[in-house]
Chains A and B, each alone.
Chain A
Amino acid sequence: MAERAQPLSPLPGISAALLVAALIVGTLVAVLVRAEPGRGLGVGDLAALRFTLIQAMLSAGLSVAIAIPVARALARRRFAGRAALIALLGAPFILPVIVAIMALLQVFGRAGWLNDVLFWVGLPGVQIYGLHGVVLAHVFFNLPLATRLILQAWQEVPAERFRLAAQLGVNGWAMFRLIELPMLARVVPGALAVVFAICLSSFAVALTLGGGPRATTVELAIFQAFRYDFDLTRAAMLSGLQLILTSIAALIALRLSRADGMGDGLDRSLRRWDARGPMARVCDTIWIALAGAFLMLPLTALIFKGVTSIVSLPMAVWSAALTSVLVAVASTTVLLCMAVPMAAALATRHGRWIEVAGILGLAASPLVIGTGLFLVLRPVSDPSNWALPVTALVNAVMALPFALRILSPAARDTALRYGRLGCALNMGGAPFFWRVFVPRLRPQIAFSAGLGAALSIGDLGVITLFATSDQATLPLQMYRLMGAYQMEAAAGAALLLLSLSMGAFWILDRGGRWHAEA
């Protein structure tokens, strides 16, 4: 088709993409200039690298290994609450990391339920800190994601194939080998790569549950070099190392994964004729119950503990909460100002440029951008004055790849469906953008905004580099409470943080669907 008319202008989107690329590449250059290549990596740095790789491999392996039977059970069983459970599997994406850790501590911590039970039975207690704690937290976050990715592949198996298998009387192991194994062979490498890539840049988990020479990730080592030793050269060198790691992992993950696990239609249940036996039923039930308990128990425990102390929270927590909300408002605004024009540009034929910026965003690590911005800002101004704007900006850049994934299918669809009509009515440029593009994308824009706001409210990352002791977002304030062993107050703050991030997501997402037309 020699289509030439297009009512959407790619220029604003391309400008936004260039700004993002400049931010990511610019901070990277600032870091690399500072790093002294001659010095090489120290013993501690190599240990951090080794720990990062080991914990990411273990986390990915365990998450996916457990996700397979859980997804299988969810794919072939229908029960009350199934849709709710699958929806819940999407929640960890916007669950603040520090809240999840606090929740896990309620069950697996020193004074947690698990140790109570073990003590009562007369067994020695468990320690959550260290490698297994980090892996536990990562599995908590990524088991749901892996389950959704694999469940999606399961649901995409054509119903005819199951019908044919049922007609042939295939069951059990034969069914697994004939239909499910080939499907898993396609989806599992991608799921492993995605989880591995996510765990590589783990910061908040390692900060709270790891630490020490034997449980430090590269991302955490950047923070320590920066904050404890103020060794900018080492921070810069570690940032370079981290960037190589995340770029390779992001490229592999993009290559291997096709779906993003945020797709709709996961609550559809295929009609299956196999796995009717009592063994299969019991197994599936146990997997679903275990996975459900693993996800629900810690949060339930946290809510019970937090609800008693939320009324008596110290003033500092409330002011930190206000700060977090303001940062989230700024961050979401910046996110939308970048993502919506970029999605519009993606729908034109200049889309390829935008995708590059999106991929850059996936490979970028918040602490690397943070380090770079610190190095750039320091000669001109006191970086701590910039703590909150930088946090808002970095949060927006981190949410950008997800926002683009949410927006671009609807953007392409709108351009395809209404592009010619818009041209015929001479609506090119601003009128089409504001009167057609934005209203048509309202549900997706609201979903992205909800996601961006929730991620920003819950983020404990770059703020740790910049903040002085009198500045805090709610996650940082909560981390300080935990560090001071004020666990009651920390649990209350966690509940507040949980309500804020989930509430922000819910309000924005719902607001977008309000009176939305098909």
Chain B
Amino acid sequence: MLKLENCTMRTDEFALHADLSISQGTRVAVIGPSGAGKTTLIEAIAGFRDLTSGRIRWQGQDLGDLPPGQRPIAMLFQDGNLFAHLTAAQNVALGLHPRRRLSKEERAQVEDALTRVGLSGMGGRKPAALSGGQQSRVALARVLVQRRDILLLDEPFAALGPALKAEMLDLVAALVAETGTTLLMVSHDPADARRIADQTVLVLDGHALPPQSTTEVLDNPPDALRDYLGTAG
């Protein structure tokens, strides 16, 4: 269980309040108007942003004092998810050990992960020699070897075309289902949420609301969300 207990994140411009819990293994979309604080929420969970007050717990453990890399969390950003000077395999390997050379078994693990995301034999290529979709797949392969309990996505597929994005979301859904990972995914597109997230956290008017059923929320959106979506869902 991921618990945000009475959390406040305050910046110069605005404040976001969150008091909610997400059960292990669920797939949650984080939806709300631009500037409402979706990214702020995700960054606070990942540890890139300090809480002004409150606590974040995973399975009872307080994450507050842990730096981002030591939380049980893997995260993909909007861009810059790969190091451009390292090969695909080296990028994936960073999910295992940033510090030392990999053992033979670990190299096999990297190759397996690349195969699982459909990039068998492409480990030697650098990001510049891969398409946008393939780059996303490399990042997902790294998430696989990281074996973290929680995966946070801050719209990493936003730059891909609609068909490719759907393909990547399906891959994400399959991977988290295999590993039992809890998924939190920021999105500005309700179709993404319907596609893979059974629950949705709405971020509206400075509040991140507790998760609700995605279908219900999107079929009967509250007024503020209705304005943002522009239609009745």
**Binding site secondary structure of chain B:** loop
The residue in chain B whose Cβ has the minimal distance to the Cβ of A3 is: B48
The complex places the Cα of A418 from the Cα of B86 at a distance, in Å, of: 13
B49 touches A425 (CB 8 A): no
B48 touches A427 (CB 8 A): no
Interface: A470 (CB within 8 A): no
Interface: B104 (CB within 8 A): no
Interface: B121 (CB within 8 A): no
Which residues of B17-51 are within 8 A (CB) of A? Answer: 46-50
The complex places the Cα of A425 from the Cα of B83 at a distance, in Å, of: 12
B175-203 interface code vs A (CB 8 A; 1 in, 0 out)? 00000000000000000000000000000
Which residues of A452-484 are within 8 A (CB) of B? Answer: none
The complex places the Cα of A423 from the Cα of B98 at a distance, in Å, of: 11
A424 touches B84 (CB 8 A): no
B99 touches A423 (CB 8 A): no
Interface: B53 (CB within 8 A): no
The residue in chain B whose Cβ has the minimal distance to the Cβ of A440 is: B85
A423 in contact with B83 given A3-B48, A4-B50, A431-B99 (CB within 8 Å): no
**Which residues of chain B have C-beta atoms less than 8 A from A3's C-beta?**
48-49
Interface: A420 (CB within 8 A): yes
A417 in contact with B80 given A2-B11, A2-B50, A424-B74 (CB within 8 Å): yes
Interface: B211 (CB within 8 A): no
Name A421's contact: one of B47, B49, B80 (CB within 8 Å): B80
**Which residues of chain A have C-beta atoms less than 8 A from B75's C-beta?**
424
Residue from A420, A436, A439 whose CB has the most chain B CB atoms within 10 Å: A420
Name B77's contact: one of A421, A430, A518 (CB within 8 Å): A421
Interface: B95 (CB within 8 A): yes
Interface: B115 (CB within 8 A): no
A427 in contact with B98 given A4-B48, A420-B48, A420-B77 (CB within 8 Å): yes
Interface: A426 (CB within 8 A): yes
B68-92 interface code vs A (CB 8 A; 1 in, 0 out)? 1110011101001101111000000
CB<8 Å pairs between A and B, sample of 27: A1-B49, A3-B48, A4-B48, A4-B49, A5-B68, A418-B80, A420-B48, A420-B77, A423-B47, A423-B48, A423-B67, A423-B68, A423-B69, A424-B69, A424-B73, A426-B69, A426-B70, A430-B99, A431-B98, A431-B99, A435-B83, A435-B86, A435-B94, A436-B83, A439-B85, A517-B84, A517-B126
A residues apposed to B, CB below 8 Å:
1-5, 417-418, 420-421, 423-428, 430-432, 435-436, 439-440, 517-518
B residues apposed to A, CB below 8 Å:
11, 46-50, 67-70, 73-75, 77, 80-81, 83-86, 94-95, 98-99, 126, 128, 146
